[in-house]
Structure 1
Amino acid sequence: MVRILKALLLAVSFIAHERAGADQDLLEQARDYLHKGEPKAAVIQLKNLLQGNPENADARVLIGESYLMLGDGPSAAKELEKARDLGVSRDRWMVPLARAYLLQAKPKTILEQIEPEDDLAETMRAQVYGIRGLAHISLNQPEQARESFDAALKLDSNASDALLGLAMLEIQNKQFKKAIEYAAQAVAADAKSVSAWVILGETRRLDGDLAGSAEAFTKALEIQPFDVRARLGRAAVFLATGKTEDAQKDVDEVQKNVGEVPLALYLHAVIAFQKKEFQEAEDALLKVTSALPNHLSSRLLLGTIAYQQGKYESAENNLAQYLGTFPKHLPAAKLLAATRMKLGRPHDAVELLKGFEDQASDDPQYLALLGSAYLQEKKYDSATEYLNRASELAPEEGSVKAQLALGRIGSGQMDQAVDDLKSAVELDQNLMQADVMLILTLIHQKKTDEAIEAAQKMRSKMPGDPMPENLIGAAYMAKGDTGKAREHWTSALKLKPDYTTAALNLAKLELSGNNPESAVGYYQQVLQRDSKNLAAHLGLAQIAETRKDYESMEKYLKEAREKNPKALQPAVMLSRYLLARGKALQALEVARDAENHHHDHPLALQSLALAQSANGEGASAITTFKKLVSKVPNNPEYRHQLAQVLYTKGEKQAAKAEWESALKHSPDYVPALLAQAELHVQEKKFREALKLAETIKTKHPKSPLGDQLEGDVQFAQNLFKEALPAYEKAFQSAPSPVLARRLFQTRRALGKDQEAFDGLNQWLQSAQDDLESWVLLAMAHQEGGRQKEALEAYEKAQKLKPDNTVVQNNLAWLYQEVGSAKALPLAEQLLPASENHPEVMDTIGWIFVQNGKYEKGVNLLRDAAVHAPHLVQIRIHLAEALAKSGRKDEARKELERLLKEKKNFADRDKAETLLKGL
C-alpha cells in the first residue's frame, strides 16, 4: 500500500512539473507574439494557459497587457484586476490597469484607485501622475490635470502621458505651437516610442496639420503595425481629409486583428454615416454604447441619426446625454433644439438656445434656429429680431439655406440659396421661418419686388398675423418707398399694438426723415410696454448723441445696461462713451462687468483692454489684448491696439512684430501702415516712411491719410516747403482738425504768418468746438504779444473745457499781465490742480505775489522750485517774491546759487540786475 501511495505522489509531481513546463512555454510564446506585435495571437496562447491554470498570475498580467494593446479596455481591466487580486506586485499591474480604465472612460475610478504612492519607483510614479492628469482632463479639471503633469515631469522629464496631457491642455487653449513642442519633445526623447509618435500625430491633427498628422501616425505604425491608437488615429485623419476608403482599410485592419474594439466600431459608424448608411451606422454605435455607455461621441452620432430618421424621442435622449457632459457644445445644442421643436416644445428649444447667445452671436444657423423657435411660440418680435440677424450675417457666411427641416445655414451661392429656401417652403408648409428667411434674403439682395411677392404669399397663409405686414414694410423700405413702408408697419401695429418690431421700424423711419421728436415718441411707447427693450434705449441714446446731449446719452446707456445687465452691446457702448468723456475709472468698471458676463467675446475683451490701458494698467491691457488676438488672430484692429499698448510700455520690438502681423493678414490696413511709418520717422528712416505714404495713396486714393503722412515725414525733416502742398492736398480732400493745425504750423514755419492765421481762423469758424485748435491759436497770439487776441482764443477754449489745466493756467497768467481782476479768482480756482505741476504752481504763486498774498505766493514758488530746479524762470520768480516780502537775504542766496549753478541762460542779465538791487 505504501508503495502504491509513493507511486501516486511521484505521478502527481511529474504531472505538475510537466504542466508548469507547458505553462512556461505558452507564456514565452505569448511574449514572443507580443514582441512581434501580434497581440491577438498572444491572447489565444494565454487563454489556453488560463483554461488549465486560471490562477497563473503572470498569464493574467500578460493577457491584460495584450488586451490593452488591442484597445480592449474592459477585457484588459478584468484580467488586470484578477492579477491584482492574485497578489501580483503593484509595479506590474497598476499602470496597465490605469490605462485600461482610461480606455473605458472611467476617470473617477482612476482617481479613486490609482495613487502615486511614495514607495513606487520614480518612473512608475511619473506614469501614474501622467495617467491621473489625463483622468482630470476627462473630468474637465484642467488645473488639477496640469498639477499632475508637472509632478510627472519632475520625476521623469520625458514622461509621455504627461507630455500628451500638456499637449491636450495647450490645444484646449488654442496654443497649438506649444502643444506641438510637447509632442516633439516626446519624439526627441525616444524616436522609437510608438506613444511619442502617436502624441505628435494627435497634436498635429488637432492643430489642423492633417498631412503631418498622417505622417506621424504612419511612423508609429512602421514601429508597431498593430498599434490600435496609431491605426485609428490615422483612420480619423483619413476621414477628415475625405479619404474614406483609406480610413475604412485602417478600421478593417484593427477589427481583423483586435475584433470589435469600441473606437474602431465608432469610426466604422462615422464612415457608414457619411455614406448615408444610417442603419449600419446605428448598429455599430449601439455596440459601442453597450460596451461603453458613456462614449459620448457615439451618443452624439446616435442622436443625429435618430433625428434624420424622425425618431425624435431617441434623438432627444442621446443628445441630452451628450450635452450633459459637454454643455457648451453648440452643434449638439442646435440639433437638440431642433428635436424639441419637432416634438412641439419650442419653449424648451428657446431656453436651451438662449444659453449659447454669447458664443454664437455671429452664427447665422443658430440665429435662424432661435428665431424659428420664437416664431413657433408666436413671439413675433423676438422671431423677427433673430431671423433678421441671421439673414444679415448669412451672405458673409455663404448663403441662407433650409437644412434639417429648419432654417439652417449652409454653403453655396446666394441665388442657389434662394432656390433652396423656395424649395423648403414648397416641401413643408409648416416651415414658416423658411418663408421669413427667404423674404429677408431677397431684401438683402435688393430683390425687393420678389420679396414683396413672397411676403404677400406669407400673409395669405397667416391671416391676422403682424409679421407678414412687417416684412412687406421692410421690403418697401428697401425699395425706397417710405410711404408704403409706413403704411404696412402701421397695419402691423394695428393687428398687434404691442408688436415692438414694427414700432421700432417706424422710429427708424422717422429718424431717417429727420424727425427725431416723432422717433422719440415711438421709442417711449415701446418702453412704456417693455421697460427693458434694448433697441429703444439705444435708439434714444443715439438721438441724444446727435443732439450733443451727452448727459441724456449717458443716462439712456446706463438705463439700457441696468435693465439688461447681461447684454453686451449697452455695456460696450457705455464703456467706450465713458472713455471718450474722460471717465476712465467708470469705463473700466463697466468693461470688467461686461467681460465677467461674456468671458471670451471679442467686443468684451476689447472694451476691457482699452479701459485698462486708459487707466494706466498697461500690463493688464497687454494680457487682455493678447487673449483677444489669440481668439481672433486675423483681426488687424486688435493687433494694432495691442501694438499701441506694447509700444507705450516700451516694448518696441514686440509692437513692431504685431504691426507686421496685422499687415501680413491685412496689407491695406491703414492704422498699421501709419504706425510703421511713425517708427521709421523716429528712426530717421524717412525714405521708408515716404514709401509707406505712397502705398497708402495707391491703395486708398480717396483717403487724405497718404498725403497727410507725406506731409508729416517732410515736416519731421524741416522740409516745410515740401510738406505744405501735401498737407494742402489732404485738407482739400477731407478737412480735419489735425490737418488744420498742421497747415497752420507749416505756414508759420515758412514765414507765412498772415496766411497761417487766416487759415486757422477760417477753420475755427466752421469748427467752433475744436479745443486744440483754439489753444494753438491762443498760444501763437500769446507768443506774438497779441494779448487781446490770445485772451479771446483762450476764453473760447475754456468754455469748451472749463477744467482744462493748461488753458486755465495760461489764461490766468494773461489776465494778470493785462491787469484784469479775473486773474486772482482764476488762480484760486486753479490751486487744487497745481499739485506736482511746477509750471502751474509758478503761475499761481506769481499771481498771489502780484496781488499782495506774499506768504502763499512764496510757499508755492518754493515748492515749484523744489519740483523743477532746472526751470530758471521759477527760481527768478521765487527770488523776486522773497525780495518783495522783505526777505532780501534769502532772495540774495537764491540768486547767487542760481548764477553759480547755471552759467548761461536767457535771463542771466535779469538775475544779475536783480541781485545788484539787493
Structure 2
Amino acid sequence: MSRDRKTGIAPLTFRSSHRSRRTAGATGARGRLAQSAVAMALGASLLLAGCFGESAQDLLKSARTHLDQKDPKAAIIQLKNALQKDESLSEARFLLARALLDAGDVSGAAIEAEKAQSQGYKGDALVALQARLLLLQGKVDEVIAQYGSRHLASLPDEADLQAALVGAYVARQKLAEARVAADAALKAAPDSVNVRLLNVRLLTSEGKLPEARASLDQLLAQSPNSGEAWQLKGELQALAEVPTAEVVESFRKAISLDKRLVGAHSGLINTLMTSGDKAAAKEAVAAMKTAVPQHAQTFYYASVFALEGGQLKEATELSQSLLKIAPNSDRAQFLAARVAQANGDLRQAESLFAKVLQSSPESTQARLALAQAQLRGGDADQAMTTLQPALEAKAGVPPEALSLAAEIRLKQGRSDESESFLARAAEANPNDVRSRVGLALGQVKKGQEAQGMADLRKLSAEDKGVSADLALISVLMRKKDWDGAGKAIDALDAKQPKSAMAPELRGRVALARGDRAGARTQFEDALKREPAALAAANNLAAMDVQDKKPEDASKRYDVVLKADPKNLRAHMAQIGLRLNHKLATPDESIKRLTELTRAHPESPAPRLALIGLLVEKPDLKQALSVAQEGVTRDPDSPELLDVLGQVQLASGDRQQAVASFNKIATQQPRSPLGPLRLADLHIQGGDRDQAAAALKRAQAVAPGDAQLAEKVTAKALLIQRPDVAQVAAKGLQTARPNFGLGWKLEGDIARSRKDWPAALAAYRKAEQVSQAAGATVPATELAVALHSVLVESGKTDEAKAYGNAWLAKHRQDTVFLHHLGDVAVNKGQYAQAEQYYQSVLNGAPDNAAAINNIAWVKLRTGKPDEALKLAERANQLRPQVPTYLDTLAEVLAAKGQTDRAITVQQDAVKQAPGVPAYRLRLAQLYVAGGKKTEAKAELQRLADLGPKFEQQAEVQKLQAAIR
C-alpha cells in the first residue's frame, strides 16, 4: 500500500464498477452479402452458426485467453454468455469473480466468488481470491481470523493469500505478523513482481526506507517496464522528500507504461498540488479523466479542483457521483461534506462528517470538521463532546483543536477555559496569530495586564480573523468589564456584520448584567441576522421557559424551521420541549418523530427518540419493528444495534439481545459499547463471572478512555469484583498519568471496601495530580468523595475543616453545597440541611433538586403547607422527574389529599417502573385510599422480588392489613 507523505497512513482505496457495451456490426455485413446467391448461402451458414452459437466451454476458453491478455471487460462478456448457456458452471463463476475484480467491481466479484463456492467450486485459487476480496471490502479482522494460520499447496495462490494477510496485518499495525506473511509470500513466489513490490511496501511500513529503496532499485533493474514499480518508486521518493522533479518523473514514467495506473495518477496529482503547481496538477487531473474516466479517484480529484475553483454546482455533481461509486469511503464522504458545507447545507455536512468519524474515530481532521459544523449549527455542548478526544490526544493536540475549543467555551460562557485553550495554542504553534493571542493572554494571567490587553487590542485591529477579538472579549467578560466587552464585541461585529455571533455575545453580556430584556433583544437580533441560528433560538427558548411561557419557547423553533425546514436539531428540540411541557401528547410526538424518521433516514436521532417513546408507551412490538427497520437500513450502526438489543431485552428475547450486542462488538472491535452492553445483560442475569469478563474486554479496548474507566469501575464494584475495577483504574493511571481521575477511581475502590486510609490517600493523590496538571475547573466530584470518606470514617472535625476550606475557595459551588445538605439530612440535622440547600438557591434560584429537598425537610419538620408549595414548584421547574413526584405525593398524603397523591405517585412509577420504593409508596397510598385491589397487585409485584427488595417486612405488613 502506498503511504501519505506526511502521515504515513495508507490512503483509502476506492471501489469502482466498470461495464462494457457489446457492439454488433454483423448486420451491415450480412446486408452486403445478400447481394448474391453465394452471399445468401454464406449468410445462411452464418445465421445457423449464430443460432447454435459457441458452446459454454468455448466461451470459457475464450474468457481465459482474455484474462491472460489483461482484458477483463472482454472476459466478463464471454463469461456471462457462458453462464447464460449453463449457469451451473462453477468455474465460470470463479473466473467471472476474477474478471470483475480486475475491472474494479469488488462487490460484484465478492458475489460471484460466493456463488462459485456454493456451486461446489474448490481450490486454492478461490481461497486466495476470497481473502483478497475481504481485504478490499475492509473486513480486515475477518481476513486474519479465517486465513491467519492457513497455507495453500499451490505456490502462486499461497503467495496471493499471504499478500492479503500482509495487508490485513498492516491495517491492524501488526507488523511482526505482516513480516512473517510477507516472507512466506516471497518463499512461495520469489520471482513475482507483485510479491516483491509488496515486500518493498512492508519494508517502508517497518521504517526501513533505505532497504526498501535498494530492493526496489534491484527490482527495476530486472523489470524496467513495470509501471507499478515506477509508481512505487515515486511514492518512496516522496517519503524521502527528494526533489519534486524526480518524484514527478517517476510517476510520469509509470503512467507512460500503464496509463490506467490509478495510484500513479493520484501520486502525480498529490505531488504537484503539494509543490504548489496547480496548473500542472489540473492538467494531470484532465489526463486522469481521459485514462480512467469512471474511477472513484478521478471523481475525487475533479471534485476537489471544482470546489477550490468555486464551481459548487460541478463540485456537488462530482462528489455525489463519487459517493455512488464509493459510498463507504471516508475520503469520499469527507469531500462530499466539505462541498455540502460550502453550499450552506450544514445538516448534510454534519451527517457526512459524523459517518467519517464513526468509521475512523482516530481521524482528527474529521473530528474537528464535525465539531465545527455542530458549533455553527448551534450545539456548542455537542461540539465540545465531539472535540474532547482530540484535546486529550497522546500524540499532541493540534492548535486548530485548541482554538476551536476556545471558541466553544466562550460561547458557553466559560471564559477562563477559553483563555486557557488559547494559551495552550500559543505553546503548540508560537508563530501563528492564535499563538500570539495566547501569549498576550499569558501576560494578562501573569499580572502584566496592561501589556497583555494592549497586545490583544493591537492584534484585534491588525488581524482580519476573530481569534484576538474573542480572547479580548473573554478577558473583559471575566473581569466583568461589561462596557469594555461591549466595545470589543462591536469591533468583532464590524468584521462579521452579517453573523449572529456578535449579538449572541451581547446577549450573554446582558444576561450577566441581569438585563433580561436587553438579552432578549440581542438574541432576537441574532435570529434576525441568521434565522437558522439555533443557538440564539435555544437561548430565547430557555428564557421563555424560565418565564413560564413554554408555548412562546416552542415558537422560537418555528422561526428556525421556516428558514431551514430540514434542520433536524431544531425539530428535535421543539418536540422535546413540547413533550416535556405537555404541549403535545406522547402520541402526537410519536407521529411527528415517525415523519422525521422517514424524512431523515440517514440520521439515527429521530428513530432513537421514537423508539424511546414507544418503549415508554409501552408499545414494545412497534418499538421492535422501528428498531429492526433501522438496523436493516443501516446494519453497521452501533447506536441502532444497541437500541435494538435493548428493546429485544425488554421484550424478553434475551438470546436476540445477546446476538445484537455481540454484533456491535464484532463490527466495532475498537468500541467498548458491545462488551459494556453484554456486561449489563449478564449483571441483570446474575452471571457475575460473564459480566466481569465482558467488563475486562471493554476496558482493554481503550484503557486511556476516562469515561469508560468510570463505567467499568462502577459496574465492577456493583458485582463485587474490585479486581476488575482496579485494572480499569490502574490502566487509566498508566495511560494518562497527568489525569487525576485514575487515582480518584482507585479511591472509589478502596471506599467500597471501607479501607478509609487507602481511599483518602488515593483521593489526595488525585488532587495533587490535577493541580500539578494545571486544572482550572474545580474538581467538585473529587471533593465530594474525599469529604464523604472523612465523614464515613468518623473524622468529623477534619471533614468540617475540609468543607469550610473548599467553600472558602469555591463559594458558589452549588454541587458541594448540595452534598453538605445531604450529609446533614443523613445525620438528621434538618435545620442545617435546609441552610445548605438554601445556599444553593442563593446562587441558583431555580435549582429544582434543592427546592425538592427543602420541601422534604419542611415536611419532616412539621411544615406541610410550605413543603407543598416547594414540592409543586420543583415539579413545575422539572416536570416528570420521579424523585420530585415522589416527594410531592408524600406531601399531598400528609395534607390528606390521598386521591391526588395516588395520581402523582402513579406518574412516578410510570417514569421509573424499576424502582421498588416508588411502588411501595403507591401501595401505601392505595391502602390509605381504600383501593385494596390495586394495593394487592402492587404488593404482589414487590413480594415477587424477594430478597432483591430489602423492605419485604413492610410489604408483608401491608398485605396482612388488607386481607
Q: TM-score, normalised by structure 1?
A: 0.59
Q: Secondary structure at the match of 2:531?
A: coil
Match of 2:870 among 786, 796, 802: 796
Q: Separation in 2 of the partners of 1:910 and 1:371? A: 60
In the alignment, structure 1 residue 673 sits paired with structure 2 residue 713: yes
- Counterpart in the other structure of 1:317: 286
Tell me how far 1:525 sits from its aligned partner: 1.8
Tell me how far 1:440 sits from its aligned partner: 6.9
Match of 1:267 among 214, 232, 235: 232
Tell me how far 1:770 sits from its aligned partner: 7.0
The change in CA–CA distance for 1:792 and 1:339 in structure 2 (over 3 A counts) is: closer
Tell me how far 1:535 sits from its aligned partner: 4.0
The change in CA–CA distance for 1:909 and 1:571 in structure 2 (over 3 A counts) is: closer
Q: Is the 8 A contact 1:781 1:789 kept in 2?
A: yes
Structure with more relative contact order (C-alpha pairs < 8 Å, separation 6 or more): 2
- Counterpart in the other structure of 1:652: 691
- Counterpart in the other structure of 1:880: none
Tell me how far 1:216 sits from its aligned partner: 1.9
- Counterpart in the other structure of 2:809: none
The change in CA–CA distance for 1:794 and 1:437 in structure 2 (over 3 A counts) is: closer
Aligned residue type for 2:270: T
Aligned residue type for 1:180: I
Q: Separation in 1 of the partners of 2:428 and 2:886? A: 68
Mapping for residues 85-124 of structure 1, pairs under 5 Å: 94=63, 97-98=66-67, 101=70, 112=80, 115=83, 124=91
- Counterpart in the other structure of 1:487: 487
Q: Secondary structure at the match of 2:720?
A: helix
- Counterpart in the other structure of 2:700: 661
Q: Is the 8 A contact 1:126 1:155 kept in 2?
A: no
Q: Residue deviations 1:825-879, cap 9 Å, x none?
A: 6657888999999868856765665xxxxxxx5xxx335435645889xxxxxxx
Aligned length: 720
Aligned residue type for 1:865: K
Range that drifts further, 251-260 or 200-209? 251-260
Range that drifts further, 85-94 or 243-252? 85-94
- Counterpart in the other structure of 1:195: 160
In the alignment, structure 1 residue 743 sits paired with structure 2 residue 712: no
Q: Is the 8 A contact 1:168 1:179 kept in 2?
A: no
- Counterpart in the other structure of 1:141: 107
Aligned residue type for 1:149: E
Q: Is the 8 A contact 1:288 1:298 kept in 2?
A: yes
Tell me how far 1:231 sits from its aligned partner: 1.0
In the alignment, structure 1 residue 237 sits paired with structure 2 residue 237: no
- Counterpart in the other structure of 2:267: 301
- Counterpart in the other structure of 1:862: 933
Tell me how far 1:272 sits from its aligned partner: 4.0
- RMSD (Å), alpha carbons: 6.5
The change in CA–CA distance for 1:471 and 1:842 in structure 2 (over 3 A counts) is: closer
Q: Separation in 2 of the partners of 1:502 and 1:772? A: 34
Tell me how far 1:264 sits from its aligned partner: 1.8
Tell me how far 1:204 sits from its aligned partner: 1.5
Q: Is the 8 A contact 2:645 2:661 kept in 1?
A: no
Q: Is the 8 A contact 2:852 2:871 kept in 1?
A: yes
The change in CA–CA distance for 1:522 and 1:845 in structure 2 (over 3 A counts) is: closer
Q: Secondary structure at the match of 1:178?
A: helix
- Counterpart in the other structure of 2:296: 326
Q: Is the 8 A contact 1:204 1:210 kept in 2?
A: yes
Q: Secondary structure at the match of 2:228?
A: helix
Q: Secondary structure at the match of 1:665?
A: coil
- Counterpart in the other structure of 1:761: 834
Q: Separation in 2 of the partners of 1:845 and 1:219? A: 77
Q: Secondary structure at the match of 1:202?
A: helix
The change in CA–CA distance for 1:214 and 1:393 in structure 2 (over 3 A counts) is: closer
Q: Is the 8 A contact 1:787 1:814 kept in 2?
A: no
Tell me how far 1:562 sits from its aligned partner: 6.7
Tell me how far 1:300 sits from its aligned partner: 1.8
Mapping for residues 709-720 of structure 1, pairs under 5 Å: none
Q: Residue deviations 1:128-184, cap 9 Å, x none?
A: 475367469x33638x836743752774687555565456546755x5433312331
Q: Separation in 2 of the partners of 1:724 and 1:182? A: 62
Instruction: Give the unaligned 5+ runs of structure 1.
Output: 1-83, 373-378, 402-411, 422-435, 459-466, 748-752, 850-856, 873-901
Tell me how far 1:314 sits from its aligned partner: 1.2
Aligned residue type for 2:296: F
Q: Separation in 2 of the partners of 1:684 and 1:177? A: 27
Mapping for residues 332-411 of structure 1, pairs under 5 Å: 336=305, 340=309, 351=339, 354=342, 358-360=351-353, 397-399=397-399
Mapping for residues 606-617 of structure 1, pairs under 5 Å: none
Instruction: Kindly name which structure, 1 or 2, has the bigger radius of gyration based on alpha carbons.
Output: 1
Q: Is the 8 A contact 2:440 2:456 kept in 1?
A: yes
- Counterpart in the other structure of 1:698: 765
Q: Separation in 2 of the partners of 1:742 and 1:370? A: 40
Q: Separation in 1 of the partners of 2:341 and 2:170? A: 30
Q: Is the 8 A contact 1:171 1:203 kept in 2?
A: no
Tell me how far 1:612 sits from its aligned partner: 7.6
Q: Secondary structure at the match of 1:664?
A: coil
Mapping for residues 901-912 of structure 1, pairs under 5 Å: 906=957
Q: Residue deviations 1:364-388, cap 9 Å, x none?
A: 879999999xxxxxx9x9xxxx9xx
Aligned residue type for 1:743: V
Q: Is the 8 A contact 1:727 1:742 kept in 2?
A: no
Match of 1:131 among 83, 94, 98: 98
Q: Residue deviations 1:697-740, cap 9 Å, x none?
A: 5324674656766898999xxxx665988987897656558845
Mapping for residues 204-603 of structure 1, pairs under 5 Å: 204-274=169-239, 275-286=241-252, 288-289=254-255, 292-307=258-273, 308=275, 309-311=277-279, 312-317=281-286, 325-326=295-296, 336=305, 340=309, 351=339, 354=342, 358-360=351-353, 397-399=397-399, 417-419=429-431, 452-453=457-458, 456-457=461-462, 467=464, 473-474=469-470, 476-478=472-474, 480=476, 483=483, 486-487=486-487, 489-490=489-490, 493=493, 497-511=497-511, 513-541=513-541, 556=556, 560=560, 563-564=563-564, 596-597=601-602
Q: Secondary structure at the match of 1:193?
A: helix
Tell me how far 1:249 sits from its aligned partner: 3.8
Identity %: 13
Q: Separation in 2 of the partners of 1:764 and 1:370? A: 40
Q: TM-score, normalised by structure 2?
A: 0.57
Q: Is the 8 A contact 1:500 1:526 kept in 2?
A: yes
Range that drifts further, 721-730 or 261-270? 721-730
Tell me how far 1:263 sits from its aligned partner: 1.8
Aligned residue type for 2:473: M
Range that drifts further, 161-170 or 306-315? 161-170
Q: Is the 8 A contact 1:130 1:159 kept in 2?
A: no
Aligned residue type for 2:146: Y
Q: Is the 8 A contact 1:723 1:746 kept in 2?
A: no
Tell me how far 1:342 sits from its aligned partner: 12
The change in CA–CA distance for 1:245 and 1:329 in structure 2 (over 3 A counts) is: farther
Q: Residue deviations 1:32-56, cap 9 Å, x none?
A: xxxxxxxxxxxxxxxxxxxxxxxxx
Match of 2:143 among 179, 193, 206: 179
The change in CA–CA distance for 1:649 and 1:283 in structure 2 (over 3 A counts) is: farther
Q: Is the 8 A contact 2:638 2:668 kept in 1?
A: no
Tell me how far 1:260 sits from its aligned partner: 1.6
Range that drifts further, 526-535 or 773-782? 773-782
Mapping for residues 722-733 of structure 1, pairs under 5 Å: none
Tell me how far 1:226 sits from its aligned partner: 0.9
Tell me how far 1:442 sits from its aligned partner: 6.8
Q: Separation in 2 of the partners of 1:539 and 1:816? A: 38
Q: Separation in 1 of the partners of 2:674 and 2:561? A: 25
Tell me how far 1:449 sits from its aligned partner: 5.3
